[in-house]
């Protein structure tokens, strides 16, 4: 873009006449500027006498006021003191103060006065002694008043006249439902200890018959069952201790039956698994951590939970169709009853699952129907027979299905006769759905021996229905 055009406003004729140059002037108004020659003449006037007298050199002085360093012929030239403000290379230093103050002279140490000099030596003014005595008296009065008030306040906090009153219940009957269940069940619950030398195990049990039969877990008494030198001791809620004898045990359900020679026993009432519902209140009774007659409460949190039972120091190898509960169960509760609100036994506590190994987790109990069936067989025959079909399996879960994949089939077994082959994935036995290898064990144990039951499996991506007849183990 080009420059803007210069705008020159019109000048008023009156302003032109007032402020323009006269007619005979072409340049500047200065007379020197109008001289014909270019170099102005300079003239130096003599100074004013008054100013010369005031500011001129004194009489007899040279033309310069600066002293010539070589003018003093009598002595050497003195070095001027260094000025740090003028010397750029001078270091920082602290000079002397502008005003020097006189330091106060230290006072001589005062003479120490003793009591005699203060009171009778006239070294202290009587007025000062009187003031000191008044201050001491005032301090004593204030201290006594504070002490008196403190004593009165302390007296208000404690009193020998107060007698605390307690009230008793109208009756001796248990007032809560858990208390009622505990009151009814505790006499039928026992503590069981198996000992072999320095080794011992502690569990619980419940009286199921007046003839002295007690049901418990196999892993509680397996030490005594495998070694004749071991002893079994049963302790009742009233403190009575008696020896126990093993009637029979079943490692596949982790149940055992003992017998004691005691009369007039309190027998627990047994319930039915069909009446158990998820969410109902339950009470666990036993001897967790060796603490007998312990009662904990919770609810039934799940049913038909396949749980494998095994452990060090026991020959138990079982899979139970467990009742799951959040009632606190710890080692020592094993073999004790799980009770409903009517104090009926609905399961035998057998296992816990917890990250810490304690009761901060879930407990599992053997359903009462399985307990009744196994205990009845052990009392009658001393042993328990289970159905089997002759396969080993492993759990499998994929996008197509989940179940128990057949790892191998025993020759001549019911499974081989039915046409089961390795690689088949069993998904149903009878009416029970199978989602894992442990659930297959539970489903087979639910079937009657010698009865033909339907078996459903997945083979090469398609469902296959077979018929299998379990036999006794």
More confident residue, 318 or 79: 318
Q: Tokens 């049963």: give the residue.
A: 234
Chain centre distance of CA 401: 40
Q: Taking residues 41-66, report their average pLDDT.
A: 72
Q: Taking residues 347-368, report their average pLDDT.
A: 83
Q: Taking residues 81-94, report their average pLDDT.
A: 66
Q: Taking residues 415-440, report their average pLDDT.
A: 93
Model confidence at 120, pLDDT cuts 50, 70, 90, reads: confident
Sign of the alpha-carbon torsion through 63, 65, 71, 74: positive
Fold of 177-381: Thrombin, subunit H (2.40.10)
Q: 5 to each of 1, 9, 10, 404, how far by Cα in Å?
A: 12, 12, 15, 101
Residues known to be catalytic: 219, 254, 334
**Nearest by Cα to 184 from 329, 340, 417, 358:** 340
Q: Taking residues 329-335, report their average pLDDT.
A: 90
Residue 231 contacts residue 223 (beta carbons within 8 Å): no
**Residue-wise pLDDT tens digits, 250-291:** 999 999 999 999 988 999 999 999 999 999 999 999 999 889
pTM listed for this prediction: 0.65
Helix (H) or strand (E) holding 328: none
Q: Where in the chain is the domain with CATH 2.40.10.120?
A: 177-381
Model confidence at 1, pLDDT cuts 50, 70, 90, reads: low
| pLDDT score, position 359 | 58
Q: Where in the chain is the domain with CATH 2.30.42.10?
A: 387-472
**Residue-wise pLDDT tens digits, 153-177:** 655 677 788 899 888 877 777 778 9
Average pLDDT of the chain is 84
Q: Taking residues 197-205, report their average pLDDT.
A: 88
| pLDDT score, position 312 | 67
**Nearest by Cα to 337 from 257, 265, 269:** 269
Residue 306 β-bridge partners = 321
More confident residue, 429 or 31: 429
Question: What is the DSSP secondary-structure string of 173-220?
Answer: S--SHHHHHHHHHGGGEEEEEEEETTEEEEEEEEEEETTTEEEEEHHH
Fold of 387-472: Pdz3 Domain (2.30.42)
- Say how many C-beta atoms besides its own lie within 10 A of residue 346's C-beta: 25
179: which 2 tokens? Answer: 């208390």
Asked whether the predicted pLDDT for residue 333 surpasses 80, the reply is yes
Residue 259 contacts residue 247 (beta carbons within 8 Å): yes
CA distance 290 to 293: 10
Q: Taking residues 367-386, report their average pLDDT.
A: 93
């Amino acid at each position: 873009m080009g420059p803007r055009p210069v705008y020159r406003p019109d000048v008023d004729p009156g302003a032109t006449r007032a402020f323009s140059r006269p007619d005979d002037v072409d340049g500047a108004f200065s007379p020197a500027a109008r001289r014909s020659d270019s170099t102005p003449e300079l003239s130096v006037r003599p100074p004013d006498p008054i100013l010369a007298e005031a500011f001129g050199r004194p009489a007899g002085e040279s033309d310069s006021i600066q002293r010539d360093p070589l003018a003093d012929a009598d002595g050497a030239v003195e070095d001027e003191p260094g000025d740090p403000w003028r010397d750029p290379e001078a270091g920082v230093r602290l000079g002397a103060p502008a005003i020097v103050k006189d330091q106060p002279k230290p006072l001589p140490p005062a003479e120490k006065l003793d009591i005699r000099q203060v009171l009778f030596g006239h070294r202290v003014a009587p007025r000062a002694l009187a003031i000191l005595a008044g201050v001491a008296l005032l301090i004593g009065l204030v201290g006594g008043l504070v002490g008196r008030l403190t004593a009165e306040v302390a007296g208000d906090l404690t009193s020998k006249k107060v007698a605390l009153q307690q009230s008793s219940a109208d009756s001796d009957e248990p007032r809560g439902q858990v208390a009622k269940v505990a009151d009814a069940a505790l006499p039928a619950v026992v503590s069981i200890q198996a000992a072999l030398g320095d080794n011992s195990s502690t569990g619980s049990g419940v009286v199921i018959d007046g003839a002295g039969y007690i049901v418990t877990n196999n892993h509680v008494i397996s030490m005594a069952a495998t070694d004749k030198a071991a002893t079994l001791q049963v302790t009742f809620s009233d403190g009575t201790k008696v020896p126990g004898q093993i009637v029979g045990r079943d490692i596949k359900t982790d149940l055992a039956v003992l017998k004691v020679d005691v009369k007039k026993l309190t027998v627990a009432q047994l319930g039915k698994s069909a009446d158990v519902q998820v969410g109902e209140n339950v009470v666990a009774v036993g001897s967790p951590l060796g603490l007998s007659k312990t009662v904990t409460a919770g609810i039934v949190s799940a049913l038909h939970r396949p749980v494998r039972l095994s452990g060090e120091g026991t020959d138990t190898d079982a899979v139970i169709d467990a009742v799951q509960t959040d009632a606190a169960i710890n080692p020592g509760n094993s073999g004790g009853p799980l009770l409903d609100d009517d104090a009926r036994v609905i399961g035998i506590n057998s296992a816990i699952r917890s990250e810490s190994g304690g009761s901060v987790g879930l407990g599992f109990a053997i359903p009462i129907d399985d307990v009744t069936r196994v205990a009845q067989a052990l009392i009658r025959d001393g042993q328990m027979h289970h159905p089997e079909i002759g396969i080993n399996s492993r759990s499998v879960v994929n996008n197509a299905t989940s179940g128990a994949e057949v790892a191998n089939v025993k020759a001549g077994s019911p499974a081989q006769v039915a046409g089961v082959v390795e690689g088949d994935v069993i998904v149903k036995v009878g009416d029970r759905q199978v989602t894992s290898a442990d659930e297959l064990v539970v489903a087979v144990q639910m079937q009657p021996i010698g009865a033909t039951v339907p078996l459903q499996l997945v083979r090469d991506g398609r469902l296959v229905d077979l018929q299998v007849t379990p036999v006794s183990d």
